[in-house]
Amino acid sequence: MATKTATKSVPKTKLSPLKKNSNGVLPHKIVSIDSKKLKDMENVFSLQKKKALELRHSTTKQRIKKLKSLKDLIFKYQPEIREALRADFNKSETETDLSEILPSIAECRDAIRHLKYWMKPVRANTPITLFGAVSEIHYEPRGTVLIIAPWNYPFHLAFAPIVGAIAAGNTVILKPSEYTPHTSALTKKMLAELFPEEEVAVFEGDHTVSTALTDLPFDHIFFTGSTNVGKIIMERASKHLTSVTLELGGKSPAIITDGADIKKAAHSILWGKFLNAGQTCVAPDYLLIPESKVDDFVEQAKKTVKKFFGSETEDKSSSKDFCRIVNARNFERVSGYIKEAVIKGAKIELGGEVDASQNFIAPTILSKIPKDSKIMEDEIFGPVLPIITYKNLDEAIDFVNSKPKPLALYIFTKDEKKINKILKSTSSGGAVINDLIIHLANSHLPFGGVNHSGHGSYHGFFGFKQFSHERSVLKQSPVSAIKMMYPPYNNLAKKLVDITTKYLA
Ligand code: NAD
């Protein structure tokens, strides 16, 4: 980029960052939705509304059968899924297996194994004031749900919520991303093979399709995508008071403390940063590190990148294991961040080469970041790691707290006291100590954000729960103390209220 000369096969490119609209959303290519498609959506929606009533009665056995078929379908289409992701943004076969197919299969397996327990009503305590009554929580399907998926893990982030929705007994309309057309078309074909559209339907297209869909009174919307679009979805859902799950992004920090193993930390951080070319919601967005450790980190980082993708730009751009930025719009956005930071005085420690013809941005590390750089405002969502230095841990904590609550926070340290201090002083959707991203591979942990990084969570039981309504059911006993407190309020009623209040004191 600005300070590094790109090699012959990686020509320099002119960069002009796109201007955002008033919602903070980058402009899209406007494709208006035709009236036939609109009618089709409305028809499918009303068919699904009817089907949803029928599915309320579906048994554990019936739902498990569907989940097993879904799992088999993923195995059957594994070669096509790999091809689609390679065609969409040069994603490597192994990375597709690791980050799209494996977690989708794991999600199905978990639901198949545990659905019997998840669906059981849960007995709740009953207070002494309601003596004799029996209290339970019943998990009932929400009904007809809309799932809007992003492009960055286009297969897994469409299938994982579908597993939760089917396990919970809902009908589903999926709107996959327009930026990964091969994977989206394949997803539609696969789901149509298994489900009638009155149960699961897919509508492809851009934001105009989401807009038309969010006009319909869904029972729940599960949205995965950017924070700015999440705000639009929440606003649109409010029209029908539709409940929403928002799986959003944000700037997830990685903090290295004094005394940490820098070599191990560099290895993990760069794996997490360059996986999917940084286009991962839980990728470490930026690094906070003591000033005295920067040189050591950069040295280890260079060795790590060489090991992962090679040392020359040609090695990295021809590596089958390093994918591309999904499209020109995002290429311009990310390379614009590097350009702007460098113009303002940032130092390129590693990488910096770009090739617009391939949407290629080399694994890049920047230091000496000016405070007012855009790269420290927006979620980067690309293979660029800015290094921010700190003098003492409080300074690092203040830096994290000066930004909206992130989706993940990573701590690299050997010091238990520092772990506790950071965890207690900050907030994030999830946190990992001495590693990255792997928390989402544990389906016994809820995965989701907090405030700016999202509302609600899923994976495993939490996905089933997210797509269910927790209905409170209280069965009254024939003899009830509460009935003695009905009007007219005689002395006995007064005494009973008095005794109960004193008992609770
Ligand atoms: P995006 O918000 O641009 O798009 C997501 C979906 O919303 C797409 O299907 C798109 O067609 C639709 N959409 C776009 N604009 C819309 C509008 N104005 N109205 C209605 N629908 C609209 O996100 P993206 O670029 O596809 O994905 C990247 C973002 O998603 C990043 O911010 C990342 O952090 C986040 N993400 C979060 C998670 C998570 O689990 N928390 C996972 C992956 C990605």
Query: If pLDDT is split at 50, 70 and 90, which confidence band does 221 have?
Result: very high
Q: Catalytic residue at 281?
A: yes
Domain with residue 103: its CATH number is: 3.40.605.10
Query: If pLDDT is split at 50, 70 and 90, which confidence band does 98 have?
Result: very high
For the full predicted model, state whether its pTM sits above 0.95: no
* Least trusted range by pLDDT, from 322-331, 446-455, 477-486: 477-486
Same-domain status, 269 and 413 = yes
Distance of CA 229 from the midpoint of ligand 1 (Å): 6
Distance of CA 50 from the midpoint of ligand 1 (Å): 29
Query: Is pLDDT above 80 for 12?
Result: no
Taking only the tens place, the pLDDT of each residue in 369-405 is 998 999 999 999 999 999 999 999 999 999 999 999 9
Same-domain status, 242 and 297 = no
Residue for token digits 């609770």?
Answer: 504
Question: Is residue 34 in a domain?
Answer: no
Average pLDDT over residues 18-26: 44
Distance of CA 303 from the midpoint of ligand 1 (Å): 34
- CA–chain centroid gap for 98, Å, is 17
Average pLDDT over residues 155-180: 98
Say how many domains are in the chain.
2
pLDDT of residue 478: 85
Residue 116: which residues within 8 A CB-CB, separation 6 or more? 60, 64
pLDDT over 90 percentage in the chain: 84
Same-domain status, 168 and 257 = no
Contact 324, 277 (CB under 8 A): yes
Of 95, 247, 353, 379, the active-site residue reads 247
Q: How far apart are CA 475 and CA 470, in angstroms?
A: 16
Same-domain status, 175 and 310 = no
Same-domain status, 200 and 261 = no
Same-domain status, 212 and 261 = no
Question: Is residue 428 in a domain?
Answer: yes
Q: How far is CA 314 from CA 7, 305, 355, in A?
A: 8, 13, 11
Q: How far apart are CA 386 and CA 349, in angstroms?
A: 10
pLDDT of residue 270: 97
Give me the DSSP letters along 210-225. HHHHHTS--SEEEEES
Average pLDDT over residues 159-172: 98
Query: Is pLDDT above 60 for 487?
Result: yes
The residue whose C-alpha atom lies closest to atom 12 belonging to ligand 1 is: 207
pLDDT of residue 32: 61
Mutate to test the pocket of ligand 1, among 210, 246, 279, 458 (most ligand atoms within 8 A of CB): 210
Query: Is pLDDT above 70 for 417?
Result: yes
Of 178, 198, 281, 323, the active-site residue reads 281
Longest Cα pair distance anywhere in the chain, in angstroms?
95
Taking only the tens place, the pLDDT of each residue in 283-293 is 999 999 999 99
Backbone angles phi, psi at 95, to 5 degrees: -65, -35
Which stretches within 405-457 are classed as H helix?
Answer: 416-425
Average pLDDT, the chain: 92
Q: Catalytic residue at 108?
A: no
Same-domain status, 237 and 157 = yes
pLDDT of residue 353: 95
* Domain coverage including residue 140: 58-248+460-466
Question: Is residue 476 in a domain?
Answer: no
Taking only the tens place, the pLDDT of each residue in 240-262 is 999 999 999 999 999 999 999 99
Same-domain status, 224 and 325 = no
* Ligand 1 binding residues, C-beta < 6 A: 25, 148-152, 157, 175, 177-178, 206-207, 210-211, 224-226, 229, 232, 247-249, 281, 379, 381, 407, 449, 454
Same-domain status, 224 and 339 = no
pLDDT of residue 26: 42
Query: If pLDDT is split at 50, 70 and 90, which confidence band does 22 have?
Result: very low
Query: Is pLDDT above 90 for 23?
Result: no
Q: How far apart are CA 453 and CA 427, in angstroms?
A: 11
Same-domain status, 293 and 234 = no
pLDDT of residue 314: 82
Same-domain status, 302 and 208 = no
Domain with residue 367: its CATH number is: 3.40.309.10
